[in-house]
Amino acid sequence: MHFLDQAKIFIRSGAGGPGAVAFRREKYVEYGGPNGGNGGKGGDIVFEAVPGLNTLIDFRYKQHFKAPRGGGGAGTNRTGAGGEDLIIKVPIGTQILDDDQETVLADMTEPGQRVVLLEGGIGGRGNASYKTSTNRAPRQHQPGMPAEEMYVWLRLKLLADAGLVGLPNAGKSTFINQISNTKAKVGAYAFTTLRPQLGVVAHRNREFVLADIPGLIAGAADGAGIGDRFLGHIERCRVLIHLIDINGTDPAEALQVIEEELEAYGGGLDEKPRLIALNKIDTVDEELVKAFTAELKAAGAKRVYPISGASGKGMGRLLDAVIGHLPAATATERPDGEREELDEKPWSPI
């Protein structure tokens, strides 16, 4: 399935049905009278957040959504049929923005959440409603209220408890494959990950959702590399895991680059708690791990977690730290009897 995280669509509610002009004509009834019914209400435009969707790809092939109009009134005081509401299903985490792409009209964050964005027009009055003691045979009637229409932008921000950030080739795909059910693409070249990935992590009888986004480089906020457009998918995370490649040119510089890009992006990312993980320790000796750990702490890291995404070494304590930042209501319980298979003994956070 292709991944699409933003789309522009046109929406229009249903117009109200017109009222009717009609009169009673019955045998043996000397005096008739007006009996034209009112028009029906037009359909609303309703957005609904549904589980099981994680892309807006459906809106690439259909961009116009129009609710049916209300039916017209009829004689014998019959009210026109109301137009059915048009329900547009979107993934949980979708924001609905005005055409200016800045004003947030609705934020769909809960399963089953519904928002009426455009209301259908009210049906017009039939001539029966105009009858008075001095106006016994009115011929007035109302057309239905017109429909409302607008263009809106849909922007998907994935709902995850924790997010992965780092430079390209930091080992994020290998990391998420190691601890979750994700099958992310792994390759020995930059920008292996081209779209966000979600994985469910099970640890210590708890489960949480982890999001991996494409790697950042210096200048991403200005469009360098893949840019920073995918950072929106970790805005809702409670904690960020910053992976740093121990085989990189300068791990301390890598830390600073990501920190600067998070601050440049805004959205509160620079204020989120971050866990610094020094990755690929299985490729170097312990002395080098300690040296680079000291460098990272000198560069501003409060605590460093040496890990290996390939072998799972040191991952247990890192995941313990992640769960420590999640409220009990966020991480769900796992079935009894399941145990972690991650190695927790060789390394501890320094």
Query: Any bridge partners for residue 74, and if so which?
Result: 78
Q: What value does the mean pLDDT of the chain take?
A: 83
> Domain 1-156: which topology?
Spo0b-associated Gtp-binding Protein; Chain: A, (2.70.210)
Q: Where are the alpha helices (DSSP H) in the chain?
A: 58-61, 172-179, 251-265, 286-298, 315-324
- Residue 171 assigned as binding residue: yes
User: Dihedral of CA 266/302/173/290: which sign?
Assistant: positive
Angle between helical axes of 315-324 and 172-179 (0-180°, round to 10): 80
> Domain 162-333: which topology?
Rossmann fold (3.40.50)
Per-residue pLDDT, 54? 78
- Residue 172 assigned as binding residue: yes
- Residue 279 assigned as binding residue: yes
- Record the pTM: 0.73
Per-residue pLDDT, 218? 63
In contact, 289 and 246? CB cutoff 8 Å: yes
Per-residue pLDDT, 168? 82
- Residue 270 assigned as binding residue: no
Q: So where are the chain's domains?
A: 1-156, 162-333
pLDDT in tens, 276-334: 999 999 888 888 889 989 989 888 888 899 999 888 888 899 999 999 988 875 545 44
- Residue 20 assigned as binding residue: no
- Residue 282 assigned as binding residue: yes
Per-residue pLDDT, 341? 42
Per-residue pLDDT, 86? 97
- Residue 43 assigned as binding residue: no
- Residue 65 assigned as binding residue: no
Per-residue pLDDT, 319? 92
Angle between helical axes of 251-265 and 286-298 (0-180°, round to 10): 40
Per-residue pLDDT, 345? 43
- Residue 143 assigned as binding residue: no
- Residue 281 assigned as binding residue: yes
Largest CA-CA distance found in the chain, in angstroms, rounded:
109
Parts of the chain with a pLDDT under 50: 1, 184-185, 187-191, 225, 331, 333-350
- The secondary structure of 126-173 as a DSSP string is PGGGG--SS-SS-----PPPPPPEEEEEEEE----SEEEEESTTSSHH
Q: Which helix (H) or strand (E) holds 274?
A: strand 274-279
